[in-house]
Amino acid sequence: MTEVVSSILGSLVEKLTSLATEEIQLVCGVKDDREKLKNTLEMIQMVLADAEQRQTKENVVRLWLSRLKNWCYDAEDALDEFEARALWRRVRSIEHLTLKRKVRYLYSWISEMIFQFKMAHNMKELRKSLDGIDKDETRFTLSTNVHERTIVPRRETHSFVPASNVIGRNEEKESIIEWLRSDAEAIKVYSIIGMGGAGKTTLVRLVYNDKRVEEHFKNNQVWLSMPQEFKIQNIIRDIIKSLSGVAEVDNYNLEALQNHLRNLVKNRRCLFVMDDVWAMSMNDWLELTILLEGLSKGSKVILTSRNQAIAKNMGTDCLLYLANLSLEDSLTLFVKYAFDQGQEKNHPDLMEIGKEIVKKCGGNPMALRALGCLLYSKNNRSDWEHIRDSETWQLTNTLPSLEILPSLRISYDLMPSYLKQCFAYCSIFPKNHEFNNFELIELWISNGFIQSSGNNQELEEIGRQYLEELLSRSFFIFLKDIYPFLYFEMHDLIYELAISVAQTESSNMKVWTQDISPTIRHVSFPDLSGVPKDELSGCFNKPSRIRTIMCQKLGSSDSEEFFLETCILRFKHLRVLWLEESSFNLLPSSIGDLKLLRYLKLSDGTINKLPKSVYELCNLQILDLAVCQNLEELSADIKNMINLRALYITTKQKHFPESGIGRVTSLRRLCIWDCRNLEALFDDIQSLTSLRMLRIGMCRKLASLPQGIKNLKALEDLYICACGSLRLPEGDGNEPGSMSSLQSLVLSYLPELVSLPGWLEGSASTLRTIEISYCPKLSALPEWLQNCSSLTKLQLTMLPELSSLPDGVRLIPTLKISECEKLSS
């Protein structure tokens, strides 16, 4: 990961020149060190591009970059401590001073002196070590005339890839569909074997979504993305969830799962796709087929794998070895992604170079698509020649699974360095992880990967652009769009590339005996249940600069409590602490010592109380307490989290305290979900002047919203769902300061909704999408709806009393109306 040094160093220079480091001025003698650091870094910046290009051939340059990168991380930690201290001082400056707090301030004054002495020493040490790195640089005669070589694709991303985009597989597709529709007494298996990126999954998706297949199996279809380790209980759970839609089976034991599955599949003709199988013994397959014995005749299984031995273990009835594309089909596929339709005829010189690039891809669809996307709309001959002549084609790897890595590596190498960080970070997630846009962008922000553009653009918006660029490069596979969430995953070869480039910084541990390198900054831990303390403690011997810890389903056993407390005590530079689906009731009070923590995820857990110290995390940007149904309350002390950008909350309290959430004016996203006792929000909601998204759902007793909601001038997305008692506040759309930036409005399952409030009219010129559903008392839509000049989508579902539409509404580009009986067609 030495190729991302320029990105890290750039953000460091920005920190050194920002107003936030005015805190440094309070420390005697540090101002001069800061200026010297800034000047030295700016000089190093000028030669970084040359160093990053030469490192592939010169080990000594790569080692120098590694030293520089580690220094940058240490410097970033020091500057972030200054920033965190500045935030802490801001919070203290606005506190009401009780006698108790005045006494505490006396102690904090002493700690301030200690902090300043410590930081002055740190800055001097950083300057000395950077001087040594800078001195070594002169030995390499690095040039200032070399610039970072990047290619940024300009294709707009879209959510659906039509069958016409799949080249050279129609014969195979028709053959599989014919086989699927044939009769058979027992369950039959069709195995598709091929190297990574050959298009196995793409082919099966075409078959799976074909209408003939859906009709034949009556939509009794199950898609299983297979894990690397076969576990029968997990497979059964996935089948049950897919066929029945029931999600509450995670706590079932094996016996209960087996009984449920047998009853579910009895006399049903089903299609099972087992995609990307890495490991399955004959015993594993026999165990599963016994559970599926009740299936109706004609049930089928499609298997995809790189390993033909797995097909033999499953007693394959039909085997297809998916060969790479012919040269002709390869060129057709490449051209489809590299040019707009027909435009290749205008660029014969580029086509000649393209033919040479296509030959190097060896007929692999993924390689062809990745490089085609990269070169889309690039008419500069030198860009095409650079890819054709790249030395990366000469890379060899003994692992068969990495045979096409060079072609994907070229696409990675031509990313801007800021994007490389974001991509590599994804390796911390497990294989086949289903990402969503909010989750990933918030993690990037929390790790400081999102670089400000300097034009007041929101970090979330910049992160969205980063994500779109990765999608346009085919580094993610789009799965579904459930507004405002996008869901996507990584192809296994792309995932392996991420692991390859991130291996010195990220570790996705599979077993507890795995060693963690001292250079690791981001780590995902496996299941801790049953792991003894002494085995856990061995993991903490080497790493000390961990920034991300992910550990799902953390329990409350002695060893698991020891693990969490040790992480908090040892890793003071943590930015991300991900503890989703954990079953402990309390967080250690030491959590307040993580002054640099920016992301805390406790969602879907059993925690019932937050320690007071958690509200001292002034640097926190993301707090996820969604679906924490045992959580007693959210304290008014949340106002101390003056850096918070996103809050997701589920709580048992009836009312949110005043001067709490409303004082967190940095909030961009607020999600209040499944608060079953909640009767009212907070009256000072209008103080959230930066709020872009407000989602309120499944709050059954919530009777009203504060009047101030109509004054959220920055709000872009408003989503209100399943609040059975809720009446929206009335108001005039022409009131000064009324909502004026709304782009998306979703109102669903609101039985008390009679009409849309007038204050929504203030957003008539900005609204793009409106979805209203299952509101049985809604009888009319406002006349101002016809003035929504930006509205492109209006969806109306299950509105039995709605009898007419305003004039002009039927001209909206996407108008969907269903189950509105009184509405004349």
pLDDT, one tens digit per residue, over 129-185 is 888 988 888 787 787 777 766 665 544 433 344 556 678 888 899 999 999 988 877
For residue 304, the cross-strand partners are: 192
- Cα gap 275→402, rounded to integer Å: 19
Q: Which two tokens stand for residue 244?
A: 């029945």
Q: What is the pLDDT of residues 325-336, one digit of tens each?
A: 899 999 999 998
Sheet holding 318-321, edge to edge: 221-225, 271-275, 300-305, 188-193, 318-321
Query: What is the distance of C-alpha 801 from the center of its chain?
Result: 40
Nearest to 273 by CA among 200, 376, 323: 200
Range in 2-6, 15-19, 51-55, 102-106 with the lowest mean pLDDT: 102-106
SS3 447: coil
Gap between the Cα atoms of 320 and 262, Å rounded:
30
Alpha helices (H) in 141-191, listed in sequence order? 170-180
* Average pLDDT rounded to a whole number, residues 335-344: 88
CA distance 1 to 340: 34
Q: What is residue 274's three-state secondary structure? A: strand
* pLDDT tens sequence across 288-317: 888 887 787 888 999 998 888 888 888 888
H, E, C per residue of 533-545: HHHHHHHHCCCCC
Please give the span between the terminal C-alpha atoms of the chain, in angstroms, as a whole number: 60
| Segment 540-553, tens digit of pLDDT | 777 778 999 999 88
List, for residues 689-727, the tens digit of each pLDDT value.
999 999 999 999 999 999 899 999 999 999 999 999 998
| Separation CA 728–CA 706 (nearest Å) | 9
d(CA 289, CA 295): 10
> What's the pLDDT tens digit per position in 509-539?
877 766 788 889 999 988 887 788 777 777 7
pLDDT for res 99:
47
With beta carbons less than 8 A apart as the criterion, state whether 6 and 45 touch: yes
CA 193 to chain centre: 30
Q: Based on C-alpha coordinates, what's the Rg of the chain?
A: 29
Query: CA 292, 297, 302: angle at the middle one, nearest 5?
Result: 65
pLDDT at position 398 is: 38
* Across 247-275, average pLDDT: 81
Q: Is the peptide bond before 484 cis (omega within 30 degrees of 0)?
A: yes
What is residue 23's predicted lDDT score, i.e. its pLDDT? 55
**Residue 822 has what pLDDT?**
86
- Give the pLDDT band of residue 106 (cuts 50, 70, 90): very low
**287 burial via Cβ count (<10 Å: 0-12, 13-18, 19+):** middle
**Pairing status of strand 485-489 against strand 435-436:** antiparallel
Domain ranges of the chain: 2-140, 169-321, 415-503
* Cα–Cα dist 179/163, whole Å: 20
What are the distances in angstroms from CA 643 to CA 67, 309, 401, 647? 32, 54, 44, 11
- In 3D space, the residue among 723, 714, 713 whose CA is nearest the CA of residue 753 turns out to be 723
Alpha-carbon span 90 to 146, nearest angstrom: 43
Q: pTM, whole model, 2 decimals?
A: 0.84
Four-residue CA torsion sign, 104, 661, 467, 496: positive
DSSP state of 800: T
Nearest partner of 271 among 292, 250, 245, 246, judged by Cα: 292
Rounded mean pLDDT of 363-380?
Answer: 87
Q: What is the DSSP string of 311-327?
A: HHHTT-SEEEE-PPPPH
Q: What is the mean pLDDT of the chain?
A: 85
> Would you say 196 and 492 are in contact if contact means Cβ atoms under 8 Å apart?
yes
Residues whose CB is less than 8 angstroms from the CB of residue 816 and which lie 6 or more positions away in sequence, other chains included: 793, 794, 795, 796, 797
Q: 607-641: string of b/e by CB count within 10 Å (b at 16+)?
A: beebeeebbbbbbbbbbbbbbbbebebbbbebbbb
Q: Which residues pair with 38 in a beta bridge?
A: none
Q: CB-based burial of residue 100 (10 Å sphere; 0-12 exposed, 13-18 middle, 19+ buried)? A: exposed
Residues 6+ positions from 170 with CB-CB distance below 8 Å: none
Q: Which of 89-98, 273-282, 470-479, 614-623 has the lowest mean pLDDT?
A: 89-98
- In the chain, % of residues over pLDDT 90: 38
Instruction: Enumerate residues 6+ apart whose C-beta is below 8 A from 615.
Output: 635, 637, 638, 640, 641
Residues 369, 335: contact at Cβ < 8 Å?
no
806 preceded by cis ω (within 30°)?
A: no
| DSSP letters for 510-524 | SSTT----TT--EEE
Inter-CA distances, 531 with 233, 510, 513, 627, Å: 21, 13, 10, 27
Band (pLDDT 50/70/90 cuts) for residue 187 is confident
For the domain spanning 415-503, the CATH number is: 1.10.10.10
d(CA 206, CA 166): 9
Q: Is 699 exposed, middle or buried (0-12, 13-18, 19+ CB in 10 A)?
A: buried
Handedness of CA 754, 759, 764, 766 (dihedral sign): negative
Say if residues 148 and 83 touch (Cβ distance below 8 Å).
no
CATH architecture of 169-321: 3-Layer(aba) Sandwich (3.40)
Tell me how far the alpha carbon of residue 128 is from its chain's centroid: 38
Question: Checking DSSP bridges between strand 522-524 and strand 548-550, what pairing results, if any?
Answer: parallel
Look at residues 451, 314, 391 and name the one whose alpha carbon lies nearest to residue 11: 451
266 exposure class (CB count in 10 Å sphere: 0-12, 13-18, 19+): exposed
